[in-house]
């Protein structure tokens, strides 16, 4: 029975891949890795962090799929600023799981360039230091996607940080608020976002069946396409990823026009 199921899966996977040949591929994909705790409950685990551990193990597979598809940038939403209000009994192990994941992604032999996007100052000092060290270790890598790790991330906080950075830069150059107000445009803000220098996400994938942004890339997702998957993150499969790409490829992007 299992071999028959694997055969059907393999055939369907091959069919999905064939349908994507010659179709547009997103340059930047945002992934909201949602449903780890729900998966743990449904599987009978008492500790919700068992779900986070299985979900973390999924990340490396998904990055490999992105590389195979030719996706240049990936943003992984792993921990929101709102999540920092969780009880220490859950938050502390989750931070350790994220830290271990990032350190693993930064290991030699992996092709990904990591960028931490979020308010690292809200994290424990040891966690923030480990994340920054992993980021620095991967600079100059090629052959894989540039991967944004969104930890302690909130879209509103990002916009506030961008405006603050812009104001400080303008003041340091000797400019006045009146001058800034006169010349301020969208690009001025974009140049101070956590993702500056990168294209905005073409496609945002969210698992667990929830259909909301939850503060994810509020500025950058203005013209993104969205794909909502009913599966919880640990159950997300390659065929589900290919379905998301197929959905994206079949849409006509108008950018508001």
Report the C-alpha gap between 236 and 229 in whole angstroms.
8
Does the annotation place 63 within a ligand binding site?
Answer: no
Domain assignment present for 212: yes
| Annotated catalytic residue 250 | no
Is 218 annotated to bind a ligand? Reply is no
Is residue 50 assigned to a domain? yes
Q: Is 214 flagged in the annotation as binding?
A: yes
pTM equals 0.95
Element of type H or E holding 4: helix 2-20
CATH number at residue 34: 3.40.1180.10
Task: Give dist(CA 208, CA 221) in Å, integer.
Answer: 20
Residue tagged 């919700």 (tokens): 48
Task: Domain of residue 69: give its range.
Answer: 26-154+200-245
The reply to whether 14 falls in a domain is: no
Alpha-carbon gap, residue 21 to 214, rounded angstroms: 33
121 included as an active-site residue: no
Q: Which of 34, 50, 200, 240 is catalytic?
A: 34
Whether residue 160 has pLDDT greater than 90: yes
* Domain contains 221: yes
Q: Is 140 left (phi over 0), alpha (psi -120 to 50) or beta?
A: left
Pairing of strands 73-80, 28-32: parallel
What number is the average pLDDT over the span 138-146?
95
Task: Flag whether 113 is marked binding.
Answer: no
User: For residue 97, is pLDDT > 80?
Assistant: yes
Consult the annotation and say whether 85 binds a ligand.
no
Burial of residue 185 (number of CB atoms within 10 Å: 0-12, 13-18, 19+): exposed
35 is in an annotated binding site: yes
140 assigned to some structural domain: yes
Residue scoring higher pLDDT (125 or 6): 125
Residue 254's pLDDT band (cuts 50, 70, 90): confident
pLDDT of residue 6: 87
Number of domains in the chain: 1
Q: Is the pLDDT of residue 1 over 60?
A: no
CA dist 127 and 131 (Å) reads: 6
The answer to whether 76 touches 59, Cβ cutoff 8 Å, is: yes
Catalytic residue among 47, 50, 83, 202: 83
CA atoms of 255 and 257, how far apart (whole Å): 6
138 within some domain: yes
pLDDT tens readout for residues 19-33: 999 999 999 999 999
Query: Is residue 166 situated within a structural domain?
Result: no
| Residue 4: inside a domain | no
Query: Tell me, what's the pLDDT at 237?
Result: 97
């Amino acid at each position: 029975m299992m071999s028959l199921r694997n055969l059907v899966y393999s055939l369907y996977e091959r069919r999905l891949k064939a349908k994507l040949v010659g179709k547009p591929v997103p340059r930047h994909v945002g992934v909201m890795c949602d449903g780890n705790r729900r998966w743990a409950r449904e599987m009978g685990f008492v500790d919700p962090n068992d779900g986070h551990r299985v979900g973390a193990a999924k990340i490396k597979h998904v990055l490999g799929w992105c590389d195979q598809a030719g996706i240049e940038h990936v943003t992984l939403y792993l921990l929101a600023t709102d999540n920092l209000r969780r009880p220490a009994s859950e938050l502390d192990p989750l931070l350790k799981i994220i830290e271990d994941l990032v350190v693993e992604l930064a290991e030699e032999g992996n092709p990904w360039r990591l960028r931490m996007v979020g308010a690292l100052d809200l994290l424990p000092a040891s966690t923030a230091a480990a994340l920054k060290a992993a980021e620095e270790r991967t600079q100059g890598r090629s052959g894989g996607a540039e991967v944004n790790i969104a930890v302690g991330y909130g879209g509103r906080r990002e916009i506030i940080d961008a405006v603050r950075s812009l104001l400080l830069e303008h003041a340091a150059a000797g400019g006045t608020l009146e001058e800034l107000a006169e010349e301020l445009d969208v690009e001025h803000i974009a140049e101070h976002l956590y993702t500056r220098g990168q294209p905005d996400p073409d496609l945002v994938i969210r698992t667990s069946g929830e259909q909301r942004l939850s503060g994810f890339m509020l500025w950058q997702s203005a013209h993104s396409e969205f794909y909502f998957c009913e599966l919880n993150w640990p159950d997300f499969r390659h065929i589900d990823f290919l379905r998301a790409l197929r959905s994206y490829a079949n849409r006509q992007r108008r950018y508001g026009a």
